[in-house]
Amino acid sequence: MAGDDDIESRGGRVKRNGYSNNNTSSSSAYASSSAYIIEDTDAQWTSWLVPMIVVANIAVFIVVMYVNNCPGHRHMRLVGNCVARFLGRFSFEPLRENPLFGPSSSTLKKLGALEWTEVVVKHQGWRLITCIWLHAGVIHLLANMLSLAFIGIRLEQQFGFVRVGIIYLLSGFGASVVSSLFIRNNISVGASGALFGLLGAMLSELITNWTIYTNKAAAFFTLLVIIAINLAIGILPHVDNFAHIGGFITGFLLGFVLLSRPQFGWLERQNLPAGTLIKSKYKPYQYVLWLVSLVLLVVGLTVALVMLFRGENGNDHCRWCRYLSCVSTSRWDCNGI
């Protein structure tokens, strides 16, 4: 989210002796409409990284609220009293200042929120990472952590903590870079970009492993609809859709690089008669997608970082891109966002 004051149990059916912002519904819909062809000996990973990330985000939010200390602000309050004052220094800012039940924007900025001036002018590049662990309020935190639990745990059970962890962190980083390129006037916090990276990786994993799926067309279109709906929500004001798009593209490319599955002939090689021609581990198109995606990912992040730290404004190179994040209507104006 952005604003001055705001801001996937392996799914499917196992076939014997053969070879499946922010969305709590995306993983279940995806899993129910797909089936994997896997070996009997292929065991699930135990998911521990994603739950740890959830716990870490909650812990960071508690620390942020402690630092915020709404009742201890010395300035005169013109927007109302703290909310849930029985929580003491953990009480929330007035709803007029933060309707998501959370800290002030100044506290978020002090603790690592993403802001162009701090990153580029003051050379605080670490904010490209720290902002992923901050949330604007309880509502923001709950939405992201529920989505992460539903999507991330399923992916970690299928592919392990290393690959899912890389996708999560790099997607979050890519989201921050793209956001900083296009948004200069507001702060941005939250794990939404990293979550969109997991959604992007789910889509590219389905594409690159297309031949080992059943019900693949249904799974593909279901996932596309889920992604489209969530990106469309991003055109609302105070929602950092540039972070969503940056995270999605980064995760989509990383999915081709990290989530390819060996074809069935390779997995069954030990059961084949001696002298039988063994298939390649991966299909040719998987190698092509792997190479192209890796090149695009490295080049894209490099160019974006160079542009960012040279102080270039992405809107100067793409005049219409502002409509990807906010569209003005009779109810709101995007000029100040």
Catalytic one among 244, 260, 293, 325? 244
Partners of 214 in beta bridges? 35
Contact status, residue 201 vs residue 167, Cβ threshold 8 Å: yes
Catalytic one among 26, 47, 192, 293? 192
Q: Which amino acid is at 203?
A: L
List C-alpha distances in Å: 311 to 173, 179, 182, 306.
Answer: 18, 13, 11, 9
Give phi and psi for 70, each to the nearest 5: -50, -50
CA 156 from chain centre, in angstroms, equals 14
The helix/strand count (H/E) of the chain reads as 13, 4
Rounded distance between C-alpha atoms, residue 258 and residue 152, angstroms? 15
260 is catalytic: no
CB atoms within 10 A of CB 51: 14
Q: How many residues does the chain have?
A: 337
Name every residue whose Cβ is closer than 8 Å to that of residue 114 and which is 6 or more positions away in sequence: 127, 128, 131, 176, 179, 180, 187, 188, 189
List C-alpha distances in Å: 152 to 9, 128, 269, 295.
Answer: 11, 21, 31, 25
SS3 state at 144: helix
Q: DSSP assignment of 305-337, as one string?
A: HHHHHTT--HHHH-GGGGGGT----SS---TT-
Rounded distance between C-alpha atoms, residue 73 and residue 82, angstroms? 10
192 is catalytic: yes
Name every residue whose Cβ is closer than 8 Å to that of residue 166 and which is 6 or more positions away in sequence: 254, 258
Report the catalytic residues: 192, 244
